[in-house]
Structure 1
Amino acid sequence: MYDTARERLIHLHHCRGIGWKSIARLLDVDPSLTSIFHLSSHQLQRLLAIPEKHFAVFFHDLHCHKLKRMIKTYEEQNIHIVTIKDDEYPDWLKHIYDPPWVLYAKGNVQLLKRKKLISVVGTRTPTRQGMAAMHIVLPPLIQHGWVIVSGLAKGVDAEAHRLCLRHNGETIAVMAGGLRYIYPPENESLFRQLATTQLVISEYPPFVRPQTWHFPMRNRIISGLSVGTVVVQAKERSGSLITAHFALQQGRDVFAIPGDITTKEAHGTNRLIQQGAKLILSSDDIEEEFRHLFT
């Protein structure tokens, strides 16, 4: 059916009914994935140990020739496919516990191989103080060649991407669902700009609608792409703190901008500082941390 392990992995990644762990199991059994397409239903089911209804969908998709034709159409839509087996796969991301097997990308895929990547995350409802702090910290980083990684969400994420555009910098947006489903819809214009001149990526095939659980899983990619994560503003319970915790689990640095203790949008960042995140007042506080890596 396919000539290379790369092609077989891409097909497998499009199969419904299985997730990251099932693909890991199949790669453990056969890194080339050659035998997977020839195993009987019974043999595969014993290997995967997933619910029967999920397995039925998976087995159907595994032998579905329509998938092969659909994957071929991505090139016509300017969608690049980068697998963990490819040289283009980002180095920092490859070393996290659960790296995406496949990335789908629109834009400049060369950004994935940059070394100076820093993630910027924060609340969807930043205060004027939070926005002003971004305008102090981010432009010098952008001008010094740092690629800004964020999640295309409202608020801090979108402003981080826009600052890169204004200052002729480079940025990567990580989406929660497939590339055909822009979320939030009000960022469609920003998405189109980034997909043309910058880079937008997702770990899900383009036709996959974003689900609630995709968002926290997306955050591990935001932190995993970068040497460190900057949290601008965050409430005590927020997706930004999930990203910060992923960064810590991945052995990456976490930076936080302090805020007014009477402002709920600063509670999460102040708590991070209390727990050991590096308090930053300027871009120098970030660059100093990585001077040994990039001099």
Structure 2
Amino acid sequence: MDDRLKLMLLLNSVNANATALAKFLLFGLEPRELWRPSGADAAKEVFSEKTLAKIRAANDGGWAERELERAGELGVRLLTVDDEDYPRELFDLKDAPLVLYWRGNAKKLPNKTKIGVVGTRRMSAYGRDVSKRLGAACAEHDIVLISGGAWGVDGCSQGACCENGGETFAVLGTGADLVYPVTNRKLFEMIAERGALISEFPLGSRGEPWHFPQRNRIVAALSERVVVVEAPLKSGSMITARLALELGREVWAVPGQIYGVNSEGTNRLLYDGAYPYISEEVFLSACGVDIAAPAERGGVKNMEISAEEGLIFKSLAENGTMTIDKLSLTVKMSPADLLKNITLLSAKGIVFMSAPGRYSVKSNL
């Protein structure tokens, strides 16, 4: 067995991460010194005696070799931080996982727009509807959906994505060989068919309570934008949103009833400045999906618009979503005149605000 792979498997088995590996290597240590010390046992400068005892006991029992063999039997790939297919997005994390257990037809994350969808397991009918619509929209527009494969919002959005031919990846809080919850077996099969099941935990790892907050950082890191559909104020979804913000990802939240427990988290995110998820159209536009109508469609021809309004419409139709500043430069119009004409176009149902400070043309024109 390759010493480098063995090193990472053994470190990963005690929940060590890329930072711990870097520290070990900075001491100039060879991989074998982790499990077979020489001289003064310099590995003690990096890890506690308790941690080293666990690693060395695992090595003496041949754990790493058995793990590799079992992964091969189950069709689970082991992606280490050295692997070219290891997601580059995870290097934004200070504690990037050393090993990813990867089970599915997709060999790596595709180079496409990727969004995270998270929310409560105890979703309402409203949350279910939003989750299904969002999952289907991702499939329709070739956006990769990242979630946790759990009950509720996760599974609902990923199921809709799969059923509509989309690509989705589930980051698990258990080993990649387990199905948790067991009722999601069919969903996991679809996800593996349409994407992959991903875990940083060794095979056979059960769903310990601390696993799920830890896996949330991977969901956040893999996503360009994270949508929180429904979430209590204290929940794993709120942890994911916080982590996403710390990583510089956009956070979107679905507005909900102000007295509903499931909306306490999402409404708080909106209060704190998250993007409001008010429709699939608005969100898709922010994701770069071209939903603008061509300038020559008949719907606008039959409307009375001024020459200035026509310039704005034409620019948005040709370029897609634009900021006020960029639009002002394109149509060579003062900010005051621009805002006046955008207001008129909005009132006529031609233009809408697709995100704070950004405008798009209605797709049904």
Q: Is 1:19 the equivalent of 2:34?
A: no
Cα contact 1:120–1:230 (8 A) shared by 2: yes
Change (3 A) 1:73 1:220: same
State the Cα distance separating 1:19 from its structure 2 match.
2.4
**Match in the other structure for 2:80:** 83
Deviations 1:80-107 (A, max 9, x none): 1111111111122222222111100110
Cα contact 1:13–1:102 (8 A) shared by 2: no
* Larger relative contact order (Cα-Cα within 8 Å, sequence gap ≥ 6): 1
**Match in the other structure for 1:28:** 26
Cα contact 1:123–1:235 (8 A) shared by 2: yes
**Match in the other structure for 1:198:** 195
Change (3 A) 1:49 1:10: closer
**Match in the other structure for 1:271:** 268
- Counterpart amino acid of 1:198? G
TM-score, normalised to structure 2's length?
A: 0.72
TM-score, normalised to structure 1's length?
A: 0.88
1:210 is matched with which residue: 194, 207, 213? 207
SS of equivalent to 2:109: helix
* Unmatched 5+ stretches in structure 1: none
**Match in the other structure for 2:169:** 172
* Unmatched 5+ stretches in structure 2: 290-319, 321-365
Question: Which runs of structure 2 are paired with 1:80-229 in the superposition (5 Å)?
Answer: 80-229=77-226
**Match in the other structure for 1:249:** 246
SS of equivalent to 2:107: helix
Q: Is 1:285 the equivalent of 2:313?
A: no
Question: Which runs of structure 2 are paired with 1:38-49 in the superposition (5 Å)?
Answer: 38-40=36-38, 43-49=41-47
Change (3 A) 1:191 1:105: same
- Counterpart amino acid of 1:61? A
C-alpha distance in 1 between matches for 2:44 and 2:194: 46
Q: Which moved more, 1:126-135 or 1:143-152?
A: 126-135
Change (3 A) 1:281 1:106: same
- Counterpart amino acid of 1:40? S
State the Cα distance separating 1:211 from its structure 2 match.
1.3
C-alpha distance in 1 between matches for 2:223 and 2:59: 34
Change (3 A) 1:218 1:70: closer
SS of equivalent to 2:270: helix
> Which structure has the greater CA radius of gyration?
2
Task: Give the aligned CA root-mean-square deviation in angstroms.
Answer: 2.4
State the Cα distance separating 1:237 from its structure 2 match.
0.9
Q: Give the share of equivalent positions with the same residue, in percent.
A: 33
C-alpha distance in 1 between matches for 2:28 and 2:106: 29
